[in-house]
Chain A
Amino acid sequence: MRALVKELFVGRFGDPSGAGIGLTAMDDGAAIPLGNQWLVVTTDSHVVSPLFFPGGDIGRLAISGTVNDLAMMGATEVLGLTFAMVVEEGFPLADLERVRDSIAVACADAEATILTGDTKVMGHGEIDGLVLNTSGVALAQRVVPDSGLRAGDVIILSGTAGDHGLAIMTCRHGIALDGPLESDVAPINGMIRCALDAGGGDVIAMKDPTRGGLASALCEMAEKSGVGILLNGPAVPLTNAVRAASELLGIDPLIAASEGKALIGVRAGAADRVLAAMRKHPLGCGAAIVARCVAERPGRVVLDTGFGRRILTEPEGEPLPRIC
């Protein structure tokens, strides 16, 4: 997908003037210099099947996705959101009300609100139920990109990996597990604010491990920074439910999406300080140092499994359960 966007769009449209961040950077959002501040803008479209899943629904996902993309740029105080929906004719009103209520809760969690919106209806069978788009704007004193890492830097993961992806996949495959397996979908701008306040300029790079999970996010960070990343596999927090589901489906939790987690690259000297601040926040209580940046194999991620080392690659396409 990244390759397709790069080929089709990047370079065809201008970047913001000055030191701004635009499409070329392929970051979580864009940043436009505004006096001594930055106006950060991002947009995100959401399709998910099923629309309602353990731990959340498409509405919570839509708000969290955009708020988190802003936060990953360092913009944690949301000025406002836009909200657009395309609805299939005959979509149950009760479901729409459920989505609306969930959006309201997510907005309250993020201390954000929807300022404007748009609605379209498409014919029965022309669209799969409901598609949402949200955009967001926020101001930031300092923009945090997803690059800029150098050897010696440390990468913190704000909690368990793979919860959203595996919750969705077990749901789709109709597999009932003994333990609770819920999506972690949540706006995490408050927790990111704690990390930024504690780390200041020592917080170098941030990325949320959504599609493609830790593997994709770390590969992107390594590539953009031109640094090697050594991921300490046994240090990655996983719930037992995620472990069980990943074994059952044959899907590596390292490639399964999170929707309420962040990877935060910090200078080594600030790591303990940032980690302690994050752990004080309810959404960062499971934070752990999972990786460090190294000079070897720039642009690549090496996974230490505890038994040996191997290269961790970006998954191609959607992860499919193994059949045998």
Chain B
Amino acid sequence: MAEKPSPHRTLEFRDPRRGRELGILLNRICTEIGRDPISVMHVCGSHEQAIARFGLRSAFPAVLDVIMGPGCPVCVTDMPEVDEAVALAMSGVRIATYGDMLRIPGTGKSLADARGAGARVEVVYSVAEAVEIARETGEELVFFASGFETTAVATAAALLSSPPSNFFVLSAHKYIPPVMEIVAEMPHTRVEGFLAAGHAAAITGWAVFEPFVARHGIPVVVAGFEPLDILAGLARLLELIRDGRADVVNAYPRCVSREGNRNAQTALWRVFRPIGGNWRGIAHVPNGNLRLRNEFAHFDARRRFKIDSAAAHSGAPPALAARCICGDIMAGIAKPTDCALFGRECVPDKPVGACMVSSEGGCKIWMEYGGRPDLRA
């Protein structure tokens, strides 16, 4: 027999009654601040997913603008990085990568295009699966790795557990804290506070944001991903804005500590070093890219293979791409609905820009939830 249904059981962090109370609190603090708009930014696709899924935007105070920043690692993968993977694939090297990376456009081609042209590109759910393929086939295999520090830890762990010598990593991993500095320093930025991603902070620890807060005088609140986590995090952030206090506050104490996960940090920094590099549509981000350290050079696809990216440039970029405003969307300057292509020429089935490709991308998330997240209008 199936389990007895329990329609009225409410999960602890999904209690709508508490949600309504927090909604009233948000309104009150916004009134106390007395500005319109009050703009805050989150930097995580999972936050946008939860906000859209639970219809939170329709319940936010009208003056509160919650902007999605550069929180989609797939979206900010730069074209030359995709070009490297495409060039490797086209030269006959076997590639394994996450599903979202397949369709992200390079200068001329995506990995999906390369696969269509006969290249061997496989979708994996984890780095462990890629290692397994390398082990089983004995063939040279390049794992095209993407993701922020959360996912980079998994890649680091794989490289620290003696993978086979035919396994290589082409790292497009990114590191979030430096890009917050870039956004804070953008000339027209309206961002008055940041909602930081709880899962990344679980690894880095919340103290990682202290230097940023000291330098820029902008408060940061670390928040989880349940609707009450987000509402409570926003309430805390608005209080800091109201009181003019630039602090780091941990609103996700059940998962995040000041120090974070030391073992994960050790693994991350043993394998990777931060270097400057371009984030698609954003800017050059000092220390924003994670690359393999010299000790792991023998696993580094960039050192093992001579990558001729020019080979990936053949074919002009599609005409529509010129009208794509993904860069502005990821920088938080524009919303998906500000784009003329959104929901028309650019849809999840036929994405034009990076933000419509990935399940962490703002445009894809908005489309998934009806293309119009704010039903107040």
Which of A163, A308, A316 contacts B2, CB < 8 Å?
Answer: A163
**In the complex, per-residue mask of A116-155: 1 if CB is within 8 Å of any chain B CB, else 0:** 0000000000000000000000000000000000000000
In whole Å, how far is B317's beta carbon from the nearest beta carbon of chain A?
A: 26
| Contact, CB under 8 Å: B99 / A323 | yes
A234 part of interface (Cβ distance < 8 Å): yes
Which of A179, A182, A302, A323 contacts B98, CB < 8 Å?
Answer: A323
| Contact, CB under 8 Å: A309 / B2 | no
Interface size on A, residues (CB 8 A): 37
The answer to whether A160 and B55 touch (CB under 8 A), given A313-B370, A316-B349, is no
* Chain A residues within 8 Å of B6, by CB: 237-240
Which of A163, A243, A302, A313 contacts B11, CB < 8 Å?
Answer: A243
| Contact, CB under 8 Å: A310 / B11 | no
Q: What total count of A-B pairs have CB within 8 Å? A: 96
| Contact, CB under 8 Å: B53 / A305 | yes
In whole Å, how far is B16's beta carbon from the nearest beta carbon of chain A?
A: 3
B57 part of interface (Cβ distance < 8 Å): yes
* Chain A residues within 8 Å of B151, by CB: 324
| Contact, CB under 8 Å: B375 / A310 | yes
| Contact, CB under 8 Å: A234 / B55 | no
A79 part of interface (Cβ distance < 8 Å): no
| Contact, CB under 8 Å: A286 / B375 | no
**In the complex, per-residue mask of A258-288: 1 if CB is within 8 Å of any chain B CB, else 0:** 0000000000000000000000000000101
| Contact, CB under 8 Å: B125 / A307 | no
Question: Which single residue of chain A is at the shortest CB-CB distance from B57?
Answer: A308
The residue in A182, A235, A308, A310 that gathers the most chain B C-beta atoms within 10 A of its C-beta is A308
| Contact, CB under 8 Å: B56 / A308 | yes
Which of B55, B99, B147, B368 contacts A303, CB < 8 Å?
Answer: B55
In whole Å, how far is B13's beta carbon from the nearest beta carbon of chain A?
A: 11
A292-324 CB contacts (< 8 Å) to partner B:
300, 302-313, 316, 322-324
B residues apposed to A, CB below 8 Å: 1-7, 9-11, 14, 16, 19, 52-59, 98-100, 125, 147, 151, 227, 231, 348-349, 359-360, 368-373, 375
A-B CB contact pairs (8 Å), 12 listed: A179-B3, A234-B16, A238-B7, A239-B4, A308-B57, A308-B58, A310-B373, A311-B375, A323-B98, A323-B99, A323-B125, A324-B360
